[in-house]
């Protein structure tokens, strides 16, 4: 499974200020910390920054000048996404397109032009009620991709995890949606989640337990990628253990090292 580090995020006070000041120190420290813990890609979330295009380009160049890792460009500003794609080394991941026609028209041409992968959020104007609505939106996203020449294998479909604290009934809809996504195409559609959404508003040991249990369940359903905290050792240990059971890692007493 692809681990996408979630911590280069404007909502982190220290990181947000570093983005604003163009101070590479805290950003590179956070990037290296995640890569050392097992991240295969870094999500770069700039929020609603007024200087979005310049900020995204600076972040991509700053990180990739020091660390050889692909980036997940996280912004609702297509201009910021494009500036990041222009300077990105290797294949980037766009975060994200949804099922709305205007969003599809804004982001899929960029994915096609820059041969980028892209996350497809299975939502329209609000959160879908169930797995069937998520699957229907996934079909719309697939259609948009084909219209713009983006290979389906370049899309990671996100079934939208909601906090268990406020929407407990939605967890099972995420599971069912992933099952449906896998039936929509051959080979099965790729999937991704924002894992920490499930424990949003929960703290302490229970938070890690909920995150780990969610991750374990999703992995058994075929999850391909997760935006998550690679510095949560329990999460990484859970991932490695599931991969032992699936035969992706050869068991040895030191398999967690």
d(CA 6, CA 227): 6
pLDDT at 156: 98
* 17-64: pLDDT as tens digits: 999 999 999 999 999 999 999 999 999 999 988 899 999 999 999 999
- Closest by CA to 31, choosing from 4, 54, 1, 8, is 8
User: Which is nearest to 151 in space by CA: 221, 76, 91?
Assistant: 91
Of 24, 33, 88, 96, whose CA–CA distance to 61 is shortest? 88
* Pairwise CA distance, residues 80 & 186, whole Å: 33
Task: Check pLDDT > 90 for residue 174.
Answer: yes
Judged against a pLDDT cut of 90, whether residue 205 lies above it is answered with no
Pick the CATH number of 2-245 from 3.20.20.20, 3.10.560.10, 3.40.50.300, 3.50.50.60: 3.20.20.20
Nearest by Cα to 75 from 30, 12, 14, 10: 10
What is the average pLDDT across 127-143?
97
Per-residue pLDDT tens over the stretch 151-165: 999 999 999 999 999
Note if the pTM is more than 0.75: yes
The two tokens of residue 230 are 């690679």
Residue extents of the structural domains in the chain: 2-245
| Greater model confidence, 79 or 50 | 79
Q: What is the 3-state secondary structure (H, E, C) of 112-132?
A: HHCCCEEEEECCCCCCCCCHH
pLDDT number for residue 49:
87
């Amino acid at each position: 499974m692809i681990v996408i580090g979630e911590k280069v995020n404007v909502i982190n006070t220290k990181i947000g200020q570093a983005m604003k000041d163009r101070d590479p120190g805290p950003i590179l420290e956070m990037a290296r910390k995640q890569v050392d813990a097992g991240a295969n890609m870094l999500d770069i979330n700039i929020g609603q920054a007024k200087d979005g295009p310049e900020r995204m380009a600076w972040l991509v160049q700053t990180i990739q000048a020091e660390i050889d890792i692909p980036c997940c460009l996280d912004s609702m500003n297509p201009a910021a996404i494009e500036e990041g794609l222009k300077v990105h080394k290797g294949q980037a991941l766009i975060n994200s397109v949804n099922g709305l026609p205007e969003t599809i028209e804004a982001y899929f041409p960029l994915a096609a032009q820059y041969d980028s992968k892209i996350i497809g959020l299975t939502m329209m104007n609000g959160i879908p009620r169930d797995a069937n609505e998520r699957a229907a939106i996934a079909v719309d996203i697939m259609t948009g991709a084909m219209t713009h020449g983006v290979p389906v294998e370049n899309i990671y479909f996100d079934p939208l995890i909601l906090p268990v604290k406020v929407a407990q009934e939605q967890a099972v809809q995420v599971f069912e949606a992933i099952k449906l996504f896998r039936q929509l195409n051959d080979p099965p559609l790729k999937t991704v989640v924002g894992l920490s959404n499930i424990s949003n508003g929960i703290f302490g040991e229970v938070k890690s337990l909920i995150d780990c249990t969610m991750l374990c369940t999703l992995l058994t359903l075929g999850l391909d990628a997760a935006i998550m905290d690679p510095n949560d050792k329990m999460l990484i240990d859970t991932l490695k253990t599931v991969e032992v059971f699936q035969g992706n890692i050869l068991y040895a007493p030191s398999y967690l090292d």
